[in-house]
Structure 1
């Protein structure tokens, strides 16, 4: 920030570079080693984590078609309700090393390490190694990051791809490079193949920073952005084209869609219904979003949602400071040249934070607390970049005021967040509050800034989020809606660290089958657990929550007539009107004789 750095003493360039090189590289590798330790340590304790995605990964190790489409089972009855890019990586790992908890989750953890490295590189290019290290550490120590980079949901790969896209935008903006900008578009396109339209939330920031700061004429900037938009379309659209043009009779049903197309899934259940609620197959309670006191589905919408009971302890530890830093940074760079890199970085990461955060805050459809991991890189960068610039400009009272505000806000907000788990480390919140307010006062006083002051500043700023992240990584997490923090287990839904308990007699019966599907069950909860336990394909009638129109009763009858399903397992989760589960269950009960295997009512469809 030019207004705050005019008084810095001149240092010979060669001396500065030499001194920097001595500590930067070891510090960078220490950051990555610490991140890897945090994310990989005792990784297998979560078992299969989310059984829904674990079953799809397992299927991908048994069938290439299942891997390509993201099928829930190797028989290719129906896909998961997300695009398959994250499953490709976990499935390929399982094919190479054998399917297990570790082979599935280790790629997720390594994606987290890679995201930290790329964030460091992106921030370092314009703001120096200190800011890069701070940003990387802040990302690694975000509780929801420590959760999702040790879990098998698609969010880990999404974050890595978005950070990669931001890095490419930084490189593109430096020299007005259309190649780097198109690479950014490709990263976002593959982000679409990971979690669909959520990946597009960063596009306004990516486009704005290039349009604002690239060192070339307006016409060329617009032309380059058009090429990048084409790269997004091509890198995302090739899969949609193949999947939707593939004969529906020879591929799995697209789970979550209403008409068996990926395009409908993108625009409906994973698109507009997430924003406005009510559309598509699936979602939160009653098929829509959350609201009220339902913290698993986001709680009340509004500007304070990211600070509330649902999202607060997941993501908001450093959010107040990031917002203060963003405002201060934009103010101090308001008169900078158009291509000023500090302001450009604030536009990049600030645009990412504001657009994504506001969408999450006001979306009416399905949203879960762990979605907020998409905010973590932007918050981390907005801590590091303004923090570094304000520290360098601390000779000015305005810079000291903003920096003190960042430290004090973090300490006070950490105190509030830690009171939400009052029985856990009760002294920590008081220590952080006292240290933060003390350091804020020292910064404002501006008398002397020593290494001790800097160390205490980092402790007051990172102490709460780091403690929560370490606690998160030390515990097993499972279910379809995992949460971070000092609570073992996870959220509601599938699994609880290990796959749902299944009777050994039923598992042995399934393992003895040779049909395309060992069994069929309503909804994915029971089907996924049985599949993981037996290693055999189990058809999930109706998909994730039983509401997908797959298979229809006539299709199910045809499968039975052709001898492709051995058992029908009564009960199960789901039974929504779209899937015809009730009709199928009634038809089976009317035409086949029930028996009991291991306490479970089943029907032998081959008898």
Structure 2
């Protein structure tokens, strides 16, 4: 293999394609990996589960919160399998927990490049990769240990398989696409299925095969999805409850209820049956509505190029026949617009209108589709730049995006105020230059030919300046807890509250005082759980600090019906739990309800002596 072949990649690629891809991936790696350890345990709920999985293979398989396998996290364990293995290999530290997400982010950028490049070439693919890499919510979540990073990698892999399937109607690619979505289900349950309508319809409409064969192939892909996701669900359901941890987030220790309820239709209706009622707490930020993707809490995460993506999707689909070199190419381009446009519209509508728990970082699910559509749409219009209508439409997209970026930047007025003027001026000048470059010339076209690439580079700088600035701020400022967002604080964003308290304060990772840590570590090996406390907030901190299992009574929020008071009393009598620490926030979640966790708290308070260390009330259950 010659040096030129290594440098260029494929024979049809220009000489700059491979070096440009390398630069893109290096930039993505720096964005996602620089100063990664500064966020500490990040989301300590999942960090504690990764620690548990590094100690116990049983905890690793079931996704247990603790190595003693009392209860699982409230998600399927796909992402924990990766982080748990990383901790086993490299030891327990923030880097070993967070590095897998950064690598998954870089892999997603590379895979999106491969998807777009296949039909639209390296230029469109590089633009798509750059948009995804610098989207603020992507920078946030690829530096964080929530399951979303692996979910996006599996779904983009599924999109690649659909593109390959549409090319030659091979069943194997449909089966692979279904398997990728199934792996996504094992990462974050029903959210993975949001792409299914776009995947299935794209193949049914555009694949070069008879209708009957297409239907059968899609059904086989669905079977692959069920098999790739269902094997783990079947094992959990068939394992007797006494031999496995309780399924966190469910009311009846049933993983199907978790998938269909709390992590499924409950998110749509707001009726999260797992006991944690997001509506009761106002959990999530702004209420559902058509403008949720553009509001104060969410707009800065994903909306920078969202209007452009929607417009370019429509324009690209309509103009594919004029821009493509051949009818077959035009058909593939329309299939690509249907695939990514369907992904974007379906996911955006559901996230906008869902009444259950919503966090702005959920919008990572839109980022690959936005990035792909911007790259493909810009490529389609660029090929039509000699046509006055095509050039004017491209100029309008650039100008509109620049103005919209200024509006988003204005929401955080103290954040680099000079940037708004720079974006506005460069964006409008680039748009004017793009429109002028298509003006009919009477004599020499060279000035216009030279102006167009310069205008394109200026336009790219203008439309990416805002998201890049937000991404860099995200890298510079460590984040922790489950309530995180990218970029600077938004004064207009409304955070949820519980019992008059800011929800964000309920889950801040607070390392226990060294005296508390030393007390819990005393004779820890003689007990199954060194400490029990209501909810995962404190339990995660104690478990990560001591290295010994902590019992999260009631699961994540303390509202799961496990353990019962009788079960807890039996564990205490058997000397399986050493200490109990009360959590003042647990009452906020319980509200006026009398739950198992409140009964346990009351029983401990009435029967065991208390000591206070650094404001933490500790009950010694061994006395």
Structure 1 length-normalised TM: 0.93
Q: In structure 2, what is the equivalent of residue 603 of structure 1?
A: 619
Deviations 1:245-283 (A, max 9, x none): 111112111111111111000010001110011232255
1:286, distance to aligned residue in structure 2 (A): 4.7
C-alpha change, 1:520 and 1:232, in structure 2 (3 Å) is same
What does 1:118-137 align with in structure 2 at a 5 Å threshold? 118-137=111-130
Change (3 A) 1:288 1:331: farther
Query: What does residue range 64-463 of structure 1 map to in structure 2 within 5 Å?
Result: 64-283=57-276, 285-287=278-280, 290=283, 297-333=284-320, 340-445=331-436, 446-447=438-439, 448=448, 449-463=451-465
Work out the CA distance in 1 between the residues paired with 2:535 and 2:10: 60
Q: Which residue of 2 aligns with 1:6?
A: none
Q: Report 1:404-553 matches (<5 A).
A: 404-445=395-436, 446-447=438-439, 448=448, 449-487=451-489, 492=504, 496=508, 499-512=509-522, 513-514=524-525, 515-553=527-565
Q: How does 1:26-45 map to 2 (within 5 A)?
A: 26-45=19-38
- The CA deviation string for residues 212-247 of structure 1, in whole angstroms up to 9 with x for no partner, is 111111111111100000011111111111111111
Q: 2: CA distance between counterparts of 1:564 and 1:190?
A: 36
Separation in structure 2 between the aligned mates of residue 339 and residue 462 of structure 1, nearest angstrom: 28
RMSD of the alignment, in Å?
Answer: 2.1
Alignment partners' CA distance in 2, 1:593 and 1:318: 59
Q: Identify if the C-alpha distance between structure 1 residues 41 and 487 changes in structure 2 by more than 3 Å, giving closer, same or farther.
A: farther
Compute the displacement of 1:603 (Å).
Answer: 1.8
Tell me the alpha carbon deviations over residues 358-390 of structure 1, each in whole angstroms, 9 at most, x when there is no partner: 000100111100000010000000100010110
The structure-2 alpha-carbon separation of the partners of 1:483 and 1:131, relative to structure 1 and needing over 3 Å to count, comes to same
- Counterpart of 1:584 (choices 600, 615, 622) is 600
Kept in 2, the 8 Å contact 1:390–1:403? The answer is yes
Displacement, 1:533? 1.2
Alignment check: 8 A CA contact 2:251 2:275 kept: no
Closer, same or farther: CA 300–384 of 1 in aligned 2, 3 Å: same
The 1:325/1:339 distance shift into structure 2, 3 A limit, reads closer
- In 1, Cα distance between equivalents of 2:11 and 2:307: 36
Change (3 A) 1:19 1:256: closer
Is residue 46 of structure 1 aligned with residue 45 of structure 2? no
C-alpha spacing 1:68/1:213, structure 2 compared with 1 (3 Å): same
* Counterpart Cα distance in 2 of 1:101 and 1:571: 25
**RCO comparison, higher one (Cα < 8 Å, 6+):** 1
Residues 598 and 414 from structure 1, CA distance in 2 versus in 1: closer, same or farther, beyond 3 angstroms?
closer
Whole-angstrom CA distance in 2 between matches of 1:302 and 1:53: 30
- Taking structure 2 as the reference length, the TM-score comes to 0.90
> How many residue pairs align between the two structures?
584
**Partners in 2 of 1:179 and 1:479 — Cα distance?**
41
Shift of 1:20: 3.0
| Per-residue CA distance 1:132-190 (angstroms, 9 max, x = gap) | 11111100000000000000111111111111111111111111111111111111011
Distance 2:575 2:61 in 1: 26
Distance 1:425 1:598 in 2: 40
Q: Distance in 2 between matches of 1:396 and 1:339?
A: 18
Cα offsets for 1:370-413 (capped at 9, x unmatched): 00001000000010001011001112222123211210111011
Unaligned runs of 5+ in 1: 1-14, 291-296
Contact kept? 1:157, 1:194, Cα under 8 Å: yes
Structure 2 distance, partners of 1:588, 1:565, is 12
Partner of 2:498: none
Return 404-413 or 19-28, whichever deviates more. Answer: 19-28
Superposed CA deviations along residues 63-122 of structure 1, whole A, max 9, x for unmatched, are 111111111111111111111111110010000110110000000000000000000000
Residues 330-339 or 134-143, more deviating: 330-339
Native 8 Å contact 1:58 1:94 kept in 2: yes
Measured after TM superposition, the shift of residue 572 of structure 1 is 4.7
Change (3 A) 1:187 1:298: farther
